[in-house]
Amino acid sequence: MMEAETILGMPATDKGVNKVKWRRGNAQRYNATPTGSVEYTVENGIIVGVPEGGVFGPLARQAYLQKVADASALAHAEQEATAAAFAVRAKEEAAKKAASDKAEAVRQEREEAQAKEDIIALANARVQANITCRDKSNCAKMFSLAQIFITQNADQKIQVATDTVIQTYNATENGNIAASIIKMPGSGSNERITLTLSCKSEGKAFAKLCRTNQTRIYNAFRPFIEKNLAK
């Protein structure tokens, strides 16, 4: 190292365990030129890798340029590898998103189809909850049974109960069932008893719950009346 300092005419500006550097003036690059700075590897206090012709000779310049080219090639290869990895990840993410979107579309389609089936089932059940009675005595008993049915199946307490109307309070919580029953005069001595249900629903989940519970109650109304009327 002392010999190098003599050849260069200046002491090393940076002496490390594995590297030694000479910086000339404000030169920032170690480019093996007389006006630039140099950097060499040190092993056991001895500078190694000095090309033939000295630190500023043509071979030193060539070695430096090769080193720069190798570093540039390595950086380019790393950039390409990073870009390729990113492209693979982007492709995988796109495939996952496409699969997720497809699954969600299928789920929504099934959910909508089920909702339509539920609505049809509810409409049919509501029709079946209309009962015609043949005389006043028969109708009075049916109407009394209807009040019992509401008490057992509605979530809200009865607010009004007359000879022609039975009505609960309105539903105040999601999923709660409110009910009303009206007895209307029909032809001759016939009368018609109609059950009407309502259910508070905010959001799809409660809407489905309401349809399910309303359909169940509507379907249970006629069998309850007919079974208990025969007793």
pLDDT over threshold 90, residue 83: yes
- What does the pLDDT read at residue 195? 96
Average pLDDT over residues 87-115: 92
Mean pLDDT value across the chain? 85
Task: Say if CB 135 and CB 127 are below 8 A apart.
Answer: no
* DSSP run (H or E) holding 39: strand 38-43
15 vs 86, which has greater pLDDT?
86
Dihedral sign from CA coordinates of 74, 80, 83, 89: negative
How do residues 39-72 score in pLDDT, each as one tens digit?
777 777 777 766 555 555 566 567 667 877 898 9
Q: Which residue has the tokens 């000339």?
A: 24
Task: Say if CB 32 and CB 8 are below 8 A apart.
Answer: no
Average pLDDT over residues 133-159: 93
pLDDT bracket for residue 223 (50, 70, 90): very high
Question: Alpha helices of 19-157 — where are they, by DSSP H?
Answer: 58-128, 136-153
Distance (Å, whole) CA 118 – CA 159: 29
Average pLDDT over residues 201-229: 93
- What does the pLDDT read at residue 48? 74
How do residues 160-183 score in pLDDT, each as one tens digit?
999 999 999 999 899 999 999 999
pLDDT over threshold 70, residue 25: no
Average pLDDT over residues 198-223: 93
Average pLDDT over residues 85-113: 93
- The string of DSSP codes covering 193-213 is EEEEEEE---SHHHHHHHHHH
Tell me how far the alpha carbon of residue 19 is from its chain's centroid.
54
Look up the pTM and report it. 0.59
